[in-house]
Every structure is written in C-alpha cells, then in structure tokens.
Structure 1
Amino acid sequence: MESRALALRPRCATVHAPSLECLPNELLLLVLSHLDVDDLLSTSRTSHLLRRLSLLPILHALRLRRARLLLPPLLSSPSRPSRADLIARQVFLTPTSLISRRLARNLVSIRLARRLAARPDPHALALRAVLPRECIPGLASPVCVAPALVASRRAVERARIHNHLKRWVEAHWQHRVDEHAKSVARADETLGTGRVWRLTRYWERVAKGEPRILG
C-alpha cells in the first residue's frame, strides 16, 4: 500500500508552475508529521495525493515518535498547573467532585420544584395583570394566545377597529352629504323662480331624456 501510494503522484506540468505535490514524498511526510490532527484532516482534503499520504501507517508512526519526544518536557514544565490546581479549577474531576456536582443538581431540582408548586396558577396571574388575559383560554377570548403574540394580536385588533370606524364614518358622512344635496335641490325646486331657473330645469330634463315640459 505504501509503495502504491508513493508511486501514484502527479507529474509537474511545467517548471515555472511549482506545486506542493511536486515535492518528494519523504519531505511531504515530514511536513505532515508536524501538523496537528485538525490541520492534517484539512490538508488531506485538498488533494488525492495528500489524502493517500495522510493515511499511511509510516506517517502515524512518525507522529507517535514525535509525540513521545515532545510530551515529557511539557508534562514536567513548571508552568503546567498541578493536579490540585486542576481539581480546584474543576478541570480534573474526581469521583468526589462528580458526586458533589450530582448532589448540587438534585438540590437545585428540588428547590425549583418547590417554587413552581408554590407559584399561583395562570388564572390568578391574569387577574393580577401579570399575564395578559389573552393567554388564558376562556378569560378574554375563546382562543388562547401565546404571550409573545399578544402585542401583535392587539395591534391587529386596533387596526381592524380603526378601519371599521373609518368606513362607517365615511359612509355616514356621504349619506349626510347626499341628504343635504337632495334637500337643497328640493328647496330650489320648490322655491326657485325666474326664467333662468326654469330653463336650467328644462335642459336638465332634456339631458335625462324626460318629457320636454317647460315650467
């Protein structure tokens, strides 16, 4: 497998366009052995050659050998915190810390359950104006509305009432205007005298197709 992976490599097209894949496989393996796991994964996705090289057992042997050389100095470094410091920072969890954490979670659950049991019901909260009445079914409307949608629902209701009142005022005002125009026309027709008025009425009837009766 190693020989096949080392043999399958592209040839450089020109001398003026060098590529990383044109380097010797030994040099590429040396470069890959210095990469972290995340960087090695990202590099292996760039080309087929680098993917085949990243899967070679010899590369992982080189990485393990390099890790054996680097880990002892890092573990014995004075800047590395001690186990007691890691336990105090809750980085290193001991069985005792796990039990205490589980006990703290249980205590919090019990405290929350007691407070939720002593909390008043939603109907009482709505009567105290803590919750909107629209959130309680049957109190303000037969349909229950989520608290986040109450403001939007009220805005829609206000807009609907505003449009309804606007149409009613327009219709009522137009009716009043028409009634006033008819009353003025009846008054002019009853009290109107003179040749000009009679001629006006005559030509209005002619335009409407009524009998041409002057007077």
Structure 2
Amino acid sequence: MKRLMVYVIPFALGFAACNNAGTQNNSDTTLPSDTGITDNMARDVNRDVLPNDSVRDDSKNLVKAAEDGLFEVRLSTDAQSKASTASVKTLAKHMQQSHEKINKDLKALAAQKSIVTPTAISDGQSKDISDLMEKSGKDFDKAYVDKLESAHKDAIDLFEKMSEKAEDPDIKAFFTKHLPELRMHLDMVMKEKDKLK
C-alpha cells in the first residue's frame, strides 16, 4: 500500500502540472489581425469563456464597439477616394485616424481582459459600404455623411450606456474616456451635413 501511494502522488502532481500548463497556453493565445473573426464569432467565444452575466454583458458591448469601430475605419478609408468635396475628404480622413486610435485602445483593453474582439466587419456592414460606394458625386457625399451620422448616434448611445452601467471599472473607464470624442465627431458630421444641403 505504501509503495502504491509513492507512485500515485507523483503521477497526480505531474497530471496537474500538465493540466495547468495547457490552460495557461490557451489564455495566452493571440489571434493574428487577419483572422476574419466577426462580431457573432467573438460573442460565441466570449459567452463560452466568461464567467458571469455582468462580465459577459461588458464583453458583449466591447465586442459591439470593436466591430462598429472597424466599420467606421473601413467606411472612412473608402470614402476618402470617393468623396467629391475637399471638406468631406478631410472629414473622412479625420474619422479614419480617430477611430484607428480608439480601436487600438479597445484592442489593448480586450487583450488585458482576455476578451476576443472581431477583426472583420459583418457581412451586413460590408454590404452597406458596397452599396454606398456605388454612388458618386454629391450623392455619395450626402450618403456617406448620413451613414456617419447614424453610426455615431448608435455609438454614442452604446458609450453612454456603458459609461454608466459597465461592471468592470476598466471597461467603464474606456467608454467614459472616448464618449466626448464621439460627441465631437457627431458635431463635425452635422456641420458637414448642413453644408451639403
């Protein structure tokens, strides 16, 4: 019996060490930026991994903000080559650069919290951009500015909600920090919209 105990204990300890090493590797895995993870895929992964509803809700909204941020960058990047007026081109460039910075902050926060975020826009968002790119001249400029208006109103709603209700203090701080910038973006968009009337 004593001999059996001597063999069982090292085996159990070795099994536990292997098990812990495997878990650690899974949490350290980083996804390349071109994986094409969509909003729904990220939500499915986070739902399976995250422990409780409040953390899951924070994660879900961070994923939503990430996908919307990717959409803003892609939309505004494409708009720079299609816009017919200098002021709309300037607006598109500002939106692209600003949202790239917000996206970078969001990605760093998500990595810190082990939250998987999308690396690609949804099929619906991709179609919205394709439809928009079929327009030209002033029609394109107006449609682009309208799309920015809608996207920023939705983003402001999300960021306001999360700046008040997020459970995780770091996630709450992220939404609170970037909310004034999004409001400033909407002001810029509305001024441009008035010019295009």
TM-score by length of 1: 0.23
- Of Structure 1 and Structure 2, the greater helix share is in 2
**Highest Rg: 1 or 2?**
1
TM-score by length of 2: 0.24
